Amino acid sequence: MFANPLQPNTLKGVWGTLQIPFNTDDTIDYPLLNEGIDFLVRTSLHGIYSNGTAGEFYNQTEVEFDKINEMLAERCKRTERAFQIGASHMSPIISLERIRRAKALNPQAFQVIFPDWLPMTIEEQILFMIKIAEEANPIPIVLYLPGHAKTKLSVKDLEYLSDHIPGLIGIKIAMITPDRYADMRKLNQRMSVFIPGHHLATGIKEKIGSGSYSNVACINPDAARKWYDIMLSDVERGMLIENMVRKFFDEEIIPLASRGYSDPALDKLLAAVGGKIPANTRLRWPYKSADDKQVVAVRAAARKILPDFFDIQ
Ligand SMILES: N[C@@H](CC=O)C(=O)O
């Protein structure tokens, strides 16, 4: 039975990422992961997803992949929460196999990246997506386009993909720039465009985004959801909050990115700063993690810039 697969017009809102906690010996801390899932299913998020960049999909064994997704699926089904599974991998064969195995868990959508060793031509992108969508059918696909991906797509390429792959319901992008708003607005009418959490009010105001796989939800999922509801009812008030959120990211998070902290290190730092999600800041070898001193310093700044984000339950 495939319950409620998402569609372009139902994929929206604020989705929270599962973060994988690691022990000091680099094994997965499954009891803490369990607590993290238990916490997330009780929040007001529109849904939960596994294995985005912040879920460190690129650095898991296949046995771990299966176990993490079984844990997420079991808890979401029991609590009737929407969930998506990231089946992304740098290898096309492994992505396909991840979908083949995880399909029985019946997520509302799968996220995939394009294979990431050779940049792909548009013909190769189509061949990849056809097979992925066939394997996933009737579960739909969201294409994740991280900023560092080797295959770069124009809005025209995305329209072409959307014309040829009916199972493709959405895209997840890492950057929005004003020169692309008009094209993205058109794209957002035919598929669901998900944009970074700290730009979501702009996305709603400009009608270029329908939701977010949200880095802001790492700080406090319920605050991110409340902010989204404000955007829908009073977008200018939503923009005022976005100005504060972006000030926090510009002053505290982007400088750390320039110092070599990766996106998952920063998402884990955000969760530790918010202190709501049971998790830890450790990334699996060989990647660099934020430390406790950074958590304390960034939390102090966040409490000044975004005081409301800490108290919302
Ligand atoms: N970078 C994230 C988004 C938010 O935390 C992801 O991996 O999905």
Ligand 1 pocket residue status of 116, Cβ below 6 Å? no
d(CA 86, CA 265): 18
- Which atom of ligand 1 lies at the shortest distance from residue 111's CA? 8
Angle between helices 122-136 and 155-164 (to 10 degrees): 40
Q: Does residue 48 have a pLDDT over 80? A: yes
Structural contact between residues 16 and 212, judged by C-beta atoms closer than 8 angstroms: no
Assigned token pair, 135: 């394997």
Q: Give the pLDDT of residue 312.
A: 78
Ligand 1: which of 15, 19, 20, 53 to mutate, judged by most atoms within 8 Å of the beta carbon? 53
- The residues spanned by each domain of the chain are 13-218
ipTM: 0.92
Ligand 1 pocket residue status of 215, Cβ below 6 Å? yes
Sign of CA dihedral 217, 20, 42, 104: positive
User: What's the gap in Å between 281 CA and the centre of ligand 1?
Assistant: 15
Instruction: Please name the amino acid found at residue 298.
Output: V
Ligand 1 pocket residue status of 54, Cβ below 6 Å? yes
| Tens-digit pLDDT profile for residues 36-47 | 999 999 999 999
| Tens-digit pLDDT profile for residues 220-270 | 999 999 999 999 999 999 999 999 999 999 999 999 999 999 999 999 999
Burial class (CB in 10 A: 0-12, 13-18, 19+), 59: middle
Q: What are the distances in angstroms from CA 117 to CA 113, 159, 161, 217?
A: 12, 24, 20, 31
The residue whose two tokens read 């979401």 is: 76
Nearest CA to ligand 1 atom 4: 215
Predicted TM-score of the model (pTM): 0.96
Strand stretches in 175-297, DSSP E: 192-194, 211-213
Helix (H) or strand (E) holding 109: strand 109-112
Ligand 1 pocket residue status of 60, Cβ below 6 Å? no
Ligand 1 pocket residue status of 53, Cβ below 6 Å? yes
| Tens-digit pLDDT profile for residues 75-107 | 999 999 999 999 999 999 999 999 999 999 999
Ligand 1 pocket residue status of 202, Cβ below 6 Å? no
- Which atom of ligand 1 lies at the shortest distance from residue 172's CA? 8
Ligand 1 pocket residue status of 274, Cβ below 6 Å? no
Give CATH for domain 13-218: 3.20.20.70
User: What's the gap in Å between 90 CA and the centre of ligand 1?
Assistant: 17
| Tens-digit pLDDT profile for residues 178-196 | 998 999 999 999 999 999 9
- In the predicted model, what is the mean pLDDT of the chain? 96
d(CA 200, CA 198): 6
Q: Give the pLDDT of residue 70.
A: 98
Q: What are the distances in angstroms from CA 211 to CA 81, 91, 199, 225?
A: 17, 28, 10, 10
Ligand 1 pocket residue status of 57, Cβ below 6 Å? no
Ligand 1 pocket residue status of 210, Cβ below 6 Å? no
Ligand 1 pocket residue status of 267, Cβ below 6 Å? yes
Residue 252: partners with Cβ closer than 8 Å, 6 or more residues away:
298, 301, 302, 305
User: What's the gap in Å between 215 CA and the centre of ligand 1?
Assistant: 6
